[in-house]
Amino acid sequence: MKLFLTVAGAALLIAGSALAPSSFAQGAGGAKADTNGDGKVSLAEFKAARVTMMLRADANKDGKLSQTELQTARAMRASKRGGDDAAKPGGGEGGGGRLFAMADANHDGFLDKSEIGKLSERRFQRMDVDGDGQLSASELAAGRQQRGMGGQGGGL
């Protein structure tokens, strides 16, 4: 009986790890970033997922984000988690302040898809620890933990 349970347990572990590559990439706002199912997230996949996730905060659907839209989305996310992320110095990571101004490359007071894409590229480069141009499950998890998201979607 012990042998059977040991073998069954090992089979479950192997099956679970076989499923992990296609299901690990649930990073950006719950959107599945690994669109080709290869078990890694490319820069193109990462950017597409981040732009989609961030544009969910676009309340007036004009295709760009104002500082107010980001602050509102961040406050809603914080209240759902029971925290106050918007109270972070500099307006919070997704809320504004210095970070919003730095991301707003054309200084029009909004973040467009191109500016969000640039933010995503920089974030991808920081997360790609091994420099292979792909994010593994461990790199994605470390990136979420580093931002204090614990697997949740994030701001800038």
Least confident of 27-31, 41-45, 65-69: 27-31
List pLDDT tens digits, range 86-141.
444 444 444 457 889 999 999 999 999 999 999 999 999 999 999 999 999 999 99
Q: Does some domain include residue 40? A: yes
The β-bridge relationship of strands 65-66 and 110-111 is antiparallel
Query: Any residues with CB less than 8 A from the CB of 98 and at least 6 apart, and which?
Result: 90, 91
Instruction: With respect to residue 151, please indicate whether it lies within any of the assigned structural domains.
Output: no
Is 155 domain-assigned? no
What mean pLDDT is predicted for residues 64-79?
A: 92
Is 154 part of a structural domain of the chain?
A: no
Which phi and psi angles does 141 have, rounded to 5°? -65, -40
Q: What is the pLDDT of residue 156?
A: 60
Range of the domain at 135: 2-146
Distance CA 24, CA 20 (A): 6
| Residue with more model confidence, 148 or 46 | 46
Task: Compute the radius of gyration of the chain from its Cα atoms.
Answer: 18
Contact 88, 130 (CB under 8 A): no
Rounded to an integer, what distance in angstroms lies between the CA atom of residue 133 and that of residue 34? 14
Residue 156 lies in a domain: no
Number of domains in the chain: 1
Question: How far lies 56's CA from each of 9, 51, 128, 152, in Å?
Answer: 41, 9, 25, 14
Reported as a pLDDT band with limits 50, 70 and 90, residue 145 is: confident
Residue with tokens 């480069």: 125
Which 3 state secondary structure label does DSSP give 41? Answer: strand
d(CA 52, CA 36): 17
pLDDT of residue 132: 97
Confidence band, pLDDT 50/70/90 cuts, at residue 84: low
User: 3-class SS at 10?
Assistant: helix
Distance CA 156, CA 115 (A): 11
Residue type (1 letter), 22: S
pTM: 0.68
